[in-house]
Structure 1
Amino acid sequence: MKDTHALPGQKRSLLAPGSASRWASRWSVTKHCVPSGHPQVIRQLENNIEKTTVKIATSQNMHLLYVDLLHHLKKELAGYPTELDKLQTLVGDYCSELSDMTIMSQDAMMITDEVKMNMRQGEATFIEERRARENRLNQQKKLIDKIHTKETNEKYRRVSPYRNPTAVPRTLGGPLPGGRCCSPRPPLPTRAGGIWTSPPISWVQKL
């Protein structure tokens, strides 16, 4: 039977130091007990011994692997507390940073709301001031127009030969209300030869 677990010539080396001698003694005893006319039985026993040897070697290898794995796991386990402490410290730092960022975010939101409110108040104040300024300008404009109209009227009155152009003409020399006499009215301006002639300046000044 071929061995699939070990190379040729290495089957016996996989056994423990005392295993080979024990199996050899057992084989010698079994060989003497088996009659010489049964070679088939002998071959069967040899195959069984070989299979058992392979199983023993495989078990020993698995045991060695288990021991190595156990040692490695113990070594890893010994380093876990330190790693856990580091991770716990990092988690604490992250929680502290998160708390600070939360406070900063809340402060930023409050500042933003306050700025928005101030901007609305400033906008309302600006609109009110602009309306008040426009009202003042309109009032000043009306006052200026009124003054300008008054000055124009006064200038026209000074230049006009009559104090009251809309008055009803009275008869020259006729009495005024109350029995008073009026002086003759100066003649109206006439147009002679395409040129307007005005009354004497003394009359205009008297008027």
Structure 2
Amino acid sequence: MKKYVLMLMSFFMMVCSANAQIKDDIQKSKERAAKLQTLCDDYKASGNANVDGYGDAVKNAAILAIANSVQLENMYKRQIGETQDGVTDVTITKPTLDEWVTFAATVAGEAASIKTATDKVQAAANEAKKMAEEASKQKNPMKAAKAVKTAKAATVVVEFGNIATPILVEESAAQAKAVKEIIETLKSGKNL
């Protein structure tokens, strides 16, 4: 009987520890999502197709990461029986294992979206560099001013991608880890 009680207590401690860790991960996820939202709000296209293709791909991946972050928080709160205000509510329907598995697939799709964006970074950086070089070679002051403005806009888009991509990679990895831990907890606890 003592072994059974000790085993039950250790399992309970493990679940509580996992939930606390996931709660911290979700808080960090909210912070990263806020950073990404700020970056997306400030994003402006440069007018160059290659550079904007990269910037748009990063922005789309960021929007997906933000949406997944919100969905992860909502599903987690439903899983532990809390409302958005943090109040315990026993009438909340917990997400099923299938819902978590489907969400895990969505998070995996986010990783593919990030890869699509990073595949375009080299071409965009080269294009921005080429635009800057061409702007410096312009003899006509009117054309030079326009070329410099376009080159600066392209550089800003590339910098946006360079700032947002590490946050995206970190967010995607954290989401995948949190979802994996929740699924493992559900399966191990036979809490289906």
TM-score range, shorter chain: under 0.3
Which protein has the larger Cα radius of gyration, Structure 1 or Structure 2? 1
TM superposition score normalised by structure 1? 0.23
Higher helix share: 2
Larger relative CO (CA 8 A, sep 6+): 1 or 2?
Answer: 2
